Amino acid sequence: MTDIKVVIQAGGRGTRLHPVTLETPKPLLTVKRRPILSHLLDFFISYGVEESYVVISHSHKEDFEWWKKRYRGELPKKTELVVEPEPLGTFGALKYIKHKLSDKFILSNGDELKRFDLKDFVKAHEENKDKPLATIALVRVENPSDYGVPVLSGNMVKEFLEKPKNPPSNFISSGLYILEPEVFNYADFSKGFLMIEKDIFPKLASMGKLAGYKAKNSAWYDCGTFPRWEKAIKEW
């Protein structure tokens, strides 16, 4: 898997963790005294990933430059910081690097801890007879009504229910996707701000080109609120 590239979204404001994230960007908060972003890259490196792009906010550029220097020997061979001049959502900033993503690639949120069989995930995407342009890694949680829950038909995603009162399953998006470069054909970058969950995935789902992969033996922690961050610190 050394040829697959990874893009990590690390430019969010982390408003639910204010005032802490006014000083430190959420992906650089620590779990077991190691930045969440470093844990995430450890996961990808363990599967041979050698090239990564980290999308960051201009306001936290110095923080991430310090992080890159501090952990220089523990990152993929090529790790590039991609600076957003302004908030562009979970997909908008990819316009700066799409010319470097000419083959399938992985896109991940940068504020979650993840551990599962990445090789099996990529294999499931590649061998899916429906030839999806995107596959979402799904994880089982006890509180799916707190998240977006996919409606599946087989292994294809038909739609997403945002925080449903009666979720159809306990599987939610893990914030990690494998994408084909053709997804850029469905992005109107002239809008600037783009959310993959709202601007890309619904289009793909309507065309039968969005798949779901139920991760097996997974570990996943959302660190987006103080209770969830504390839980990750105690259990990771």
pLDDT above 70: residue 13: yes
Peptide bond into 150 cis (omega under 30): no
pTM of the entire structure? Answer: 0.95
User: In degrees rounded to 5, what are phi and psi of residue 124?
Assistant: -60, -40
> Residues 14-19: what's their mean pLDDT?
92
Dihedrals phi, psi of 126, to nearest 5 degrees = -65, -35
Domain coordinates in residue numbering, the chain = 5-138+171-235
> pLDDT tens digits for 56-106?
999 999 999 999 999 999 999 999 999 999 999 999 999 999 999 999 999
Residues 120-147 have a mean pLDDT of 95
119 catalytic per annotation: no
Average pLDDT on 110-128 reads 96
What does the pLDDT read at residue 216?
Answer: 87
**Residue of 78, 119, 163, 216 with catalytic role:** 163
pLDDT value, residue 1: 60
Q: Are 121 and 135 in contact (CB under 8 A)?
A: yes
**Which homologous superfamily is 5-138+171-235 in?**
Spore Coat Polysaccharide Biosynthesis Protein SpsA; Chain A (3.90.550.10)
Task: Please answer whether residues 28 and 12 qualify as being in contact, where contact means their C-beta atoms are separated by less than 8 angstroms.
Answer: no
Residue 188 tokens read as 């109107």
Nearest to 160 by CA among 206, 118, 110: 206
